[in-house]
């Protein structure tokens, strides 16, 4: 069997439940992604490794946890000579190309793709037809060369600013304009997630977000149509996921379920059975590189933390997939908020060594309508005030029953009824920290000491 073409499509800040087949409560949001899932497999327990753009993509490209690759923040990898997916595939005979999110998806700045176009060439990363044209050009060139291709196609939707609150100049650009979504949503047509508060300004921003989600789905549809036209549908492995959750409070740049869980869909005719739903195995961002390398027949280098889940794609069971380890380090604003999380199919434990009751959490969501509306309403609502306080200051440890409380509304850290489950996940996290040489280990072992946590934060600043 010849090596497959590989099309890796990423959304920018799309929540896992924004996709219809993953339970989106709002109708007709993602028809093309729903069809892709019907033609392939979707994973109910899929997570990115870290819930912010550049580090998340670095984990995909290296198969390593951020603290093992030097890809913790908004910068190229700080460790030298880490093998990266596009280079390995090129050495294996592939042409490698990228559309959108160029800097954030290129682990080393000096790496040169065979084809690379960024936001300004793609209608601000928000024009499905331009994506289709540029992808078709690359695919045609690959066919002419007789080489299989790896194309990383990165939508800039639904990243802020959302449709309806974005730049009008984007649509006036004569050479590469942004495009309107095929469907837009009004506040009356959307459901506010339970981890937020259903206020008018929140609902408005959520509707704008869903319009951007729809435009991302339009891009997926145009790209898949191009594959059909090129006659490549049957020998192309397609993978779709988001780099992290939606850019709202308690999602992106955190370690909650809505931070790292991602709408992961794959299609590979002849290998993946259509309409498959995997509710058993955990797959994570660090597993992408080893899986695609095995599919391509390219040897996996030493040092990857991820593991190929090709057996799962073939319908087999695979051990060692009952947990997901995720983390966070630094926002795009260069602020350090280290977090570590371990989840199983029911519970999730989060360690926040940065939380000291005084240090304030700041991320991009606070510049939007939602957080401002929640903060204003909190003045008259004690329950909401407590919620805003938690977002801003957090606590050192959090423990949630994600199966019954997916929005992380009730912290069970001090509930004796869950002591056994809590300690089991603490032990799993400590063992993982030891295996991966996580510099957070000492702070975790001394998590009840404010002094130890502050000493760790000082070390973070120095690094």
pLDDT of residue 27: 74
Q: List pLDDT tens digits, range 111-134.
A: 999 999 999 999 999 999 999 999
Q: How many C-beta atoms surround the C-beta of residue 353 within 10 A?
A: 25
Confidence at residue 24, expressed as pLDDT on a 0 to 100 scale: 92
Question: Per-residue confidence at 463, pLDDT binned at 50, 70, 90?
Answer: confident
Of the pLDDT bands very low, low, confident and very high (cuts 50, 70, 90), residue 90 is very high
* The pair of three-digit structure tokens given for residue 192, joined into one six-digit string: 């506010």
Per-residue pLDDT band at 103 (split at 50, 70, 90)? very high
The residue among 106, 14, 124 whose CA lies nearest residue 62 is 106
Structure tokens at 444: 């975790």
Beta strands 336-343; 324-330: pairing state? antiparallel
How far apart are the C-alpha atoms of 201 and 221, rounded to whole Å? 31
Encode pLDDT of 373-409 as tens digits: 999 999 999 999 999 999 999 999 999 999 999 999 9
Share of the chain above pLDDT 70, in %: 100
All structural domains of the chain, each given as residue ranges with its CATH number in brackets, are 5-318 (3.40.720.10), 325-462 (3.30.1120.10)
What pLDDT is attached to residue 28? 80
Phi, psi for 215 (deg, rounded to 5): -65, -35
3-class secondary-structure state, position 332:
coil
Can you say how many angstroms the Cα of residue 70 is from the centroid of all Cα atoms in its chain?
A: 18
Give pTM, 2 decimals: 0.98
pLDDT in tens, 240-270: 999 999 999 999 999 999 999 999 999 999 9
Among the residue ranges 79-83, 230-234, 310-314, 459-463, the one predicted with the least confidence is 459-463
* R_g of the chain computed on alpha carbons: 21
Question: Confidence band (pLDDT; 50, 70, 90) for 461?
Answer: confident
Residue 56 — very low, low, confident or very high, per pLDDT cuts 50/70/90? very high
DSSP letters spanning 209-253: HHHHHHHHHHHHHHHHHHHHHTT-GGGEEEEEEESSS-SSTTSTT
* % of the chain beyond a pLDDT of 90: 97
Who wins on pLDDT, 174 or 135? 135
Give the DSSP letter of residue 76: S
**Using 50, 70 and 90 to split pLDDT, how confident is the model at 327?**
very high
State how beta strands 276-284 and 41-47 pair: parallel
What is the band of 456 on the pLDDT scale with cuts at 50, 70, 90? Answer: very high
pLDDT of 288 higher than 90: yes
Burial class (CB in 10 A: 0-12, 13-18, 19+), 292: buried
Give the model's pLDDT for residue 26: 76
HSE-CB for 281 with a 13 A CA cutoff: 23
At residue 317, the pLDDT reads 97
Q: pLDDT-based confidence at 1, cuts 50/70/90?
A: confident
């Amino acid at each position: 069997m010849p090596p497959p073409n590989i099309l890796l499509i990423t959304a920018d800040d799309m929540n896992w439940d924004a996709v219809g087949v993953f339970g989106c409560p709002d109708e007709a949001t993602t028809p093309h992604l729903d069809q892709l899932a019907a033609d392939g497999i979707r994973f109910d327990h899929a997570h990115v490794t870290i819930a912010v753009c550049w580090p998340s993509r670095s984990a995909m490209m290296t198969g390593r946890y951020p603290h093992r690759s030097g890809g913790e923040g908004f910068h190229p990898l700080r460790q030298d000579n880490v093998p990266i997916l596009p280079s390995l595939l090129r050495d294996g005979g592939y042409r490698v190309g990228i559309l959108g999110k160029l800097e954030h998806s290129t682990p080393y700045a000096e790496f040169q793709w065979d084809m690379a176009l960024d936001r300004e060439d793609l209608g601000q990363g928000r024009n499905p037809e331009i994506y289709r044209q540029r992808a078709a050009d690359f695919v045609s060139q690959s066919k002419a060369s007789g080489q299989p291709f790896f194309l990383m196609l990165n939508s800039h939707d639904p990243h802020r600013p959302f449709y309806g609150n974005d730049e009008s100049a984007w649509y006036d650009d004569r050479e590469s304009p942004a495009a309107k979504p095929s469907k837009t949503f009004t506040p009356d047509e959307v459901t506010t997630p339970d981890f937020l508060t259903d206020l008018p300004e929140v609902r408005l921003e959520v509707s704008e977000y869903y319009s951007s989600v729809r435009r991302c789905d339009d891009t997926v549809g145009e790209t898949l149509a191009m594959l059909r036209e090129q006659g490549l549908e049957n020998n192309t492995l397609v993978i779709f996921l988001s780099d992290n959750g939606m850019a709202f409070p308690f999602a992106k740049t955190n370690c909650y379920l809505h931070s790292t869980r991602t709408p992961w869909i794959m299609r590979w005719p002849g290998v993946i059975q259509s309409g498959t739903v995997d509710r058993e195995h955990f797959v994570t961002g660090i597993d992408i590189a080893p899986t695609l390398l095995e599919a391509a027949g390219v040897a996996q280098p030493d040092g990857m933390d991820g593991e190929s889940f090709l057996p799962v794609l073939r319908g087999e069971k695979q051990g060692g997939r009952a947990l997901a380890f995720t983390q966070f380090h630094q926002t795009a604003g260069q602020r350090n908020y280290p977090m570590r999380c371990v989840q199983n199919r029911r519970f999730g434990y989060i360690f926040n060594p940065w939380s000291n009751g005084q240090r304030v959490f700041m991320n991009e969501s606070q510049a939007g309508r939602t957080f401002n509306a929640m903060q204003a309403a909190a003045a008259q609502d004690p329950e909401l005030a407590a919620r805003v306080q938690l977002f801003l200051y957090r606590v050192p440890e959090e423990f949630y029953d994600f199966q019954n409380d997916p929005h992380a509304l009730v912290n069970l850290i001090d509930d004796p009824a869950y002591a056994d489950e809590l300690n089991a996940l603490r032990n799993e996290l400590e063992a993982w920290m030891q295996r991966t040489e996580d510099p957070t280990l000492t702070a975790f072992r001394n998590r009840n000491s404010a002094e130890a946590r502050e000493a760790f934060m000082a070390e973070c600043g120095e690094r």
